[in-house]
Structure 1
Amino acid sequence: MTFPPFPTVSGSLTLAGPAGALEAAIDLPGDEVEARPVVAVVCHPLPTEGGTMHNKVVTMVGRALRELGVTTVRFNFRGTGASEGRYDQGDGESADLAAVAGWVRRERPGHALWLAGFSFGAYVSLRASDALRPDLLLSVAPPAGRWDFDSIVLPRCPWLVIQGEADEIVDPQAVYHWLEDSGAEAELVRMPDTSHFFHRKLMDLRGAVKHGVRDHLPDAAG
Structure 2
Amino acid sequence: MSADPSFPSDDAFLEGKPASVTLAGPAGAIEAIVEGPEPDVPRRPLVAVICHPLPTEGGTMHNKVVTMTARALHQSGASTVRFNFRGVGASEGSFDDGNGEADDLRAVVAWVRRQKPDAQVWLAGFSFGSYVAYKVAAELKPGMLVMIAPPAGRGYGFDEVTPFDGPWLVVQGEADEVVDPQKVYAWVDGLAQPPELVRIPDTSHFFHRRLMDLRGAVKNGVRPYLPAADGSGDRTDA
Cα deviation 1:54-73 (Å, max 9, x = unaligned)? 00000000000000100000
Shift of 1:184: 3.5
**Which aligned pairs between 1:27-42 and structure 2 lie closer than 5 A?**
27-42=35-50
Higher mean C-alpha deviation, range 150-159 or range 114-123: 150-159
Higher mean C-alpha deviation, range 201-210 or range 212-221: 212-221
Which residue of the partner structure matches residue 6 of structure 1? Answer: 7
Q: Which structure 1 segments of 5+ residues have no match?
A: none
Higher mean C-alpha deviation, range 64-73 or range 176-185: 176-185
Cα distance in 1, alignment partners of residues 73 and 230 from structure 2? 15
Which residue of the partner structure matches residue 152 of structure 1? Answer: 161
TM-score (norm 1): 0.98
Cα deviation 1:145-179 (Å, max 9, x = unaligned)? 11211111111110000000000000000001111
* 2:153 counterpart of 1:165: no
Higher mean C-alpha deviation, range 82-91 or range 182-191: 182-191
Cα distance in 2, alignment partners of residues 161 and 85 from structure 1? 30
**Which aligned pairs between 1:98-137 and structure 2 lie closer than 5 A?**
98-137=106-145
Equivalent residues of 2:165, 2:193 under 8 A apart: no
Give me the CA root mean square deviation: 0.9
Q: Which of 63, 78, 83 is the matching residue for 1:70?
A: 78
One-letter amino acid of the structure 1 residue matched with residue 160 of structure 2 = S
Aligned to 2:21, what secondary structure does the other structure show?
strand
Higher mean C-alpha deviation, range 4-13 or range 111-120: 4-13
Which residue of the partner structure matches residue 234 of structure 2? Answer: none
Percent identical residues: 61
One-letter amino acid of the structure 2 residue matched with residue 199 of structure 1 = H
TM-score (norm 2): 0.92
Equivalent residues of 2:135, 2:162 under 8 A apart: yes
Shift of 1:119: 0.1
One-letter amino acid of the structure 1 residue matched with residue 166 of structure 2 = C
Aligned to 1:77, what secondary structure does the other structure show?
coil
